[in-house]
A and B are shown apart, each in its own frame.
Chain A
């Protein structure tokens, strides 16, 4: 019961932070190496956990808890009342997210070799961010979840504000304001639930909140609906759902690409994770009631992002809008609210994490050499950097849902689910499949193919350390696309029985 496995996993980057603190500031190579090395223990531990799960270890055996905070003196009535424990644990979805997070963190750390200044502070914040992300997925109660959630915000703020591009401060502030408001709403929901039920443990809440006739807790149906809508908004900011998305565009454009890899790959997914874990877990009836709304929002996201991506002139903007569009597929899957849909949504969460990480890594590679990401200033990249543009094309193909790559499986399942519940809406949504191809090919072909006015002499193609992220990401994308059971197996128990 009390293995410290998850604590070890979540806090393993802390060791790196401490070691970094003792490193001299100017030792660029050493700092970068240490930064990468510090992310490795978490990756190894996460992979070991994944494979031992496949080997038959029960996920419950990973959970752990300790007494932490006690509010009031209700101990005499029930020792669990108004107690907040330090409790970590994972289910299949969380397991996948931890594996994804730790792998992406390592790859993003490698991508951070492109960072040009103040590596010490950068990597310390980076590792802190990783702790926050890992913690979010393992937290077993809402208060712990909230704390880890906030831990991700602060390093992000500094990472954007200090190491970003031209308009970095503005981006950092709009990130903070939106996410701050989102977490404030989340906090209200958590506090109301805590006050009403006396617990924040997710499993306990699932039972208490849904007790028939409000036997166990005094939460009226309208309050539940209110809480769920608040939750939807709180996580909707993160996801982001139209029209709460503008902060995320700025972050995508202004933050350093290695951070965007994590942001787009993991942080956006916290929104989806929260919606599935809490929204669907604690408020299943409300979720079902609003599923049409969620599906409509999904289709709106999908099309809105796609159409706007079509007219962008900066490749990073194209990718930013494409993220909005792809998060629409998550919503579509959730809105379907059946097994296929929810599984599709979770697949999309993982798959988009990998794909957007790949694309942003390539952006980082391009920017480092060419100092621009404007589509008009690129062009003919295939001539000077054939490998990079080959991978860019592969990434775009994955993103537009080419079978054999992970994007297809998730898109397919999400639509499979939605077609069962709302065929007309789903048919409108499939327009998004076409538009995705249109805007991605427009942007990617303009960059890779065509005539080049640029002198490519002296510009190297993908080199040494850059191979690792590219190959790992492409490998995973294809692995999931060809053999999706690697993801679907841990999800079986989660998906089973949803929507009846």
Chain B
């Protein structure tokens, strides 16, 4: 257990987060963007749990927060997918560049 240093967990989280961020900012497919956001959330979760177990002042709050995030993410995915579906039905596309309705 103690063999794995904190930095490894953090590095994993960092890599995950960067991949997620990259995906969210560059991918054209909305589904991929959504998945990338999930990746970022999970990177955060890893961080939370890491500090909850191995931080300066270990406490259960971090894990509870992680569960909280997972719950919210699930809800978000449900709503997000629903929106995407209805968008796809209406516009026959999942390309994110076509979704600039906010502007007008």
Answer whether A and B touch in the complex at a CB cut-off of 8 Å. no
Interface residues of B (CB under 8 A from A): none
Interface residues of A (CB under 8 A from B): none
